[in-house]
Amino acid sequence: MSPLEIVILLPLLAAALIGAGLPAKLVGRVAALANLIVVIGLWLQFPGATADGSLVFKMSRQILDNPSISFAVGADGMSLILALLTTIVTVAAIWQIVDKPAIYYVSSLMISAGALGAFLTTDVFFIYSFHELALIPTLLMIALHGQGDATERRKVAWKTTVYLGVGSLVLLAGLVALVLNFSEGGKLTFDLTALLAVAKNAPLAAGTQAWIFFVLLLGFGTLVSLFPMHSWAAPAYATAPTPVAMLHSGVLKKFGLYGLIRIALPLLPLGAKAEWVQQAMLWMLLGNIIIIGLVTIHQTKLDSMLGNSSVMHMGYIFLGIAAGSELALRGAVLLMFAHGVSIALLFALCGKMRNQLGSLEFSKLGGLAKNAPFMTVIFGFAAFASIGLPGLANFPGELMVFAGAFDSRVAGLTEGLQPIHWATIVALWGVVMSAVYMLRAYRSLFFGAATAGHFIRDPDGEQRLPLLLLTAVLVVVGFRPGLLIDLLDFTLNTAKAAGL
């Protein structure tokens, strides 16, 4: 049995035990911590980036012969980094559950298991399937335990479910087309390694690659809230209970990006570079950065501002994917990690504030720093990370994405600035917008005159730990991004493999 299987199954087992009546808090916390320890152990054992892009901790169990589907697990640097992100955020999210019914624990553990399964399996079938584990828990948690009045949160819950459902079905159609196109003359296989081998020896025609890539972009993009399929995300995060908001925006959403880098780019390198696909992708990601950036600036409540900012920041990661160079992809993965940690930290703080203050409107709050110095400092770290300040994890990621995007060049196009360069120049303004809304929120919430009637206290010792953990991760990775990016090896994914 591979240790990865344990990592995937442990949260599921814990959820089942809680469902069977065991004490939820104890089982949930033990499972989350144990999983974090196992994944850190795997990270320490990881042999380092392997030149041939091969996987470690492999194990495969055939579950269907024709079409060939197997429960295959395996990790490379990218999946390990994302598993690390998942387990870190899961611990923090589980700790946010205080005096809540067991369904909070069950749902959080199921979302966590879904993300881990998606990141650590290497069969397209299971990569797809595990992501869907989160669908029902998300619906129930938002609809039953979300913020706001019942009609409103139900509406948000259904919107989220329908968007995610349609997105995943479009994705399924795209994946089926992919698998069918790579099985010319043979039987169907969903094994990613086998598909990669076929893609290397007998790549598809550029036209076919382009349209399959586009369908996958729509499917994965909906799950990542790529503009214009983004409108579910911000209300969902603002409405969801804190642990679900943390896990969904911090971890689960990264699945779509992971899928594009893991499945779409290496299998369809020419599709990603097709002119019309590139242009569509650039317009969409600029929609995320600029339009949603402006929307974020206009938010008047902390939770909806965070929700929108999370949608906006996906634009940078898409920019890395659109560029597709090794530097840009490494930056994109690092940014996925950093964004996951920082947004989870922000939502955790947001949840704590909501519990105590009852309101999150900027106009009604102020001067919180006086009574809650600890939260003020932590919020500062998270907000600065989110803006992209050097010394915190997001900065190297964003830098690498921008540098990689500016450096990439499509052969045969015009000399001088190409579309992706223009897009990068425009996208850089997003950093300014992030600074505007984050700093404004920071100032109006924590500084200035305190408003009457709103009192807040810092969390006690035990509740500080997960916040400190996330902050420490942001700082450590900010100073030593090599801890993570040295695990990455994208030589196979990038232009070299495509012969470009």
Partner 1 sequence: MSSFSIEICLAVIGVLLVAFDAFATSLSRKVVPALAIGAVALLLVLLLGGHGNPPALPEFAKSFYAVDSLAYFYKVFAMVTTLGVLIIAWESDSVVAHYSSSQGIHTRIGEFYALPLIVCAGMMWMASAKDLVSVFVPLELVTVSFYVLVAYTRRSGNALEAGVKYLILGALSTGILVYGIAWVYGVTGSMTFEGIAAAVKNPHINSTALLFGTALLLAGLGFKVGAAPFHIWIPDVYQGAPTPVTAFLSVGSKAAGFVVLTRTVTAFLTEGSVIGPQVRTALLVAAGLTIAIGSLAAITQTNLKRLFAYSSISHAGFLVLALACGSSQRLGISSGGIVALYLATYLPMTLLGFLLLAVLRSQGVGEELKDLTGLSKRSPGLAFALTAAMASLAGLPLTAGFFGKMLVFVAAVDQGYYAAVVVAVIGAAAGFYYYFRPILAVYSTGENDGAKLTWSPVAKGTASLLIACIVILGVYPRLLQFVLNPVPVAVAGK
Residues that bind partner 1 (CB under 8 A): 19, 62-67, 69, 71, 103, 125, 128-130, 132-133, 135-136, 139-140, 143-144, 154, 157-158, 161-162, 165-166, 169-170, 172-173, 176-177, 179-180, 183, 185, 187-188
Please say whether the beta carbons of 246 and 319 come within 8 A: no
Tokens 């105590």 locate to 356
* Closer residue to partner 1, CB minimum distance, 189 or 493: 189
Which residues partner with 200 through β-bridges? none
Which residues partner with 59 through β-bridges? 73
Radius of gyration, CA atoms only, the chain: 22
* Closer residue to partner 1, CB minimum distance, 113 or 405: 113
* Closer residue to partner 1, CB minimum distance, 90 or 222: 222
* Closer residue to partner 1, CB minimum distance, 174 or 430: 174
Reference 225, options 157, 290, 284; nearest CA is 284
* Closer residue to partner 1, CB minimum distance, 178 or 290: 178
Residue 445 in tokens? 């919430």
In whole angstroms, what is the distance from residue 201 CA to residue 434 CA?
44
* Closer residue to partner 1, CB minimum distance, 130 or 214: 130
Cβ-count burial of 303 within 10 angstroms (0-12 exposed, 13-18 middle, 19+ buried)?
buried
Q: How many CA atoms does the CB half-sphere of 270 hold within 13 Å?
A: 14
CB of residue 188 vs partner 1: minimum separation in angstroms?
6
Cα of first residue to Cα of last residue in the chain, in angstroms, is: 40
In whole angstroms, what is the distance from residue 311 CA to residue 233 CA?
7
Identify the three-state secondary structure at position 59. strand
In whole angstroms, what is the distance from residue 130 CA to residue 320 CA?
25
CB of residue 417 vs partner 1: minimum separation in angstroms?
37
* Closer residue to partner 1, CB minimum distance, 109 or 139: 139
Alpha carbon 341 to chain centroid, angstroms: 9
Identify the three-state secondary structure at position 408. coil
